[in-house]
Structure 1
Amino acid sequence: MANAKIKIDEAVSADIIDGKTRLILAGEQLFAKNGINGASMREIATKAGQGNHAAVQYHFGSREGLVRAIFDYRMDQMETARGAMLHLARIGDRLKDARTILEIILLPQLDLQDADGNHSYASFLSQYLLQSRSPEFGDFGGSEPPNLTLALRLMRERVDYLPPYVAQRRLISVSLMFLNILMRHHGTDESAFGESFQDALEDTMEQIVDGMCMPLRLRPT
């Protein structure tokens, strides 16, 4: 009887985890399509196959809680890739190279696709970043996975000549540049743009490095 109860509890726990994940993925898709404030909690619950229309509030407490959960869920998914990239950078003595660090921060997002093969996370993250108001470098209001945290610390050390609020502003700006190229080009007919996605990505990464690392030039007062 005890073993049976354990199995039942495990099944219930797995169902709860699966249900939360479905809500996270449904929220990501609908937020990407309709805006973070444009999708109702009822719509998200329905898309996730939840009969209880209060499922979002039950699991996440609020819309803001779901937004943070989406961000944290995707950040955790990218941790393994970032760890492998950090390892290679360490072996190659490239942990101070700006292009390498920015690739560690940005490129794992290429592999994040929703059930329809779209980059809904890129659209969601664009909206998330546009709402960020923190002046602290790398602070986006979510969790701090260790590999991402390390990559952000390396980037901050690389641009230590910038005030933290400038470095944060630039980090958001270059992230939006990357997300734009991902949403606009990836998975589409290359003939519509006159260049391949890889060519567009390479050019964008060069712009990102320059934009992140250029010296701060202020007009004299």
Structure 2
Amino acid sequence: MSKIGLITIGQSPRDDVTRDLFSITGKGVEFVEKGALDGITMDEIENLKPEKEDFPLITRLRDGSSVVVGKRKIAPLIQSMIEEMENLRVKACALLCTEEFEVKSNILFLIPSKLIFNLITSLLSKGNLFVFVPMKEQMENAKRKWERTGLNVSVEVLNPYSSSQNIDKVKERVKGDLIVFDCIGYSLDLKSRIQEITGKPAILPRSILGMTIKEIL
């Protein structure tokens, strides 16, 4: 059975993610999970919150709650997790985050945002891209990031870790030829519900990761 490493910027295990991944890969894979926030206290997590010029990232803790951490502060922890995965001799490793980090890896390293970017540019040469992000503080950065596809980009907030949102109103907001969910927290179930409401094609990071992992097994 092939071992695939999964690195979350929060705490492992991410049962919510692996449940969706297994539905795509099947059971012929063993996921080895590590989290940047594993083994540290809530006070230490508090110190990882973004400061004024740092980029905020939302992630999930082991108890199901969510926290916000700073990209600059979390990056060294991601690099450490990659090095641990290399020592565990996994076949490949995947980042459970759609933000890009400047890291080094001696093994196959799957970065969802790069996989999605390449898929989008192969599907659309012109048109409108509609992007969901978890936080309003991420909207400007997401617009710049996805405009590199050469498409017209609209961005809206949809928190994957909140149960209080009324997604029935999404249809009124979605204006695009293709929807992108810009966070690993978005589930297959949420994608299906959004597609049913809007009738639009959509790209989900978990789906892309699952299909890529299945391909390289």
TM-score range, shorter chain: under 0.3
The structure with the greater share of residues assigned to helix is 1
The structure with the greater share of residues assigned to strand is 2
TM-score (norm. length: structure 1): 0.25
TM-score (norm. length: structure 2): 0.25
Larger relative contact order (C-alpha < 8 A, sep ≥ 6)? Answer: 2
Bigger-Rg structure (1/2): 1
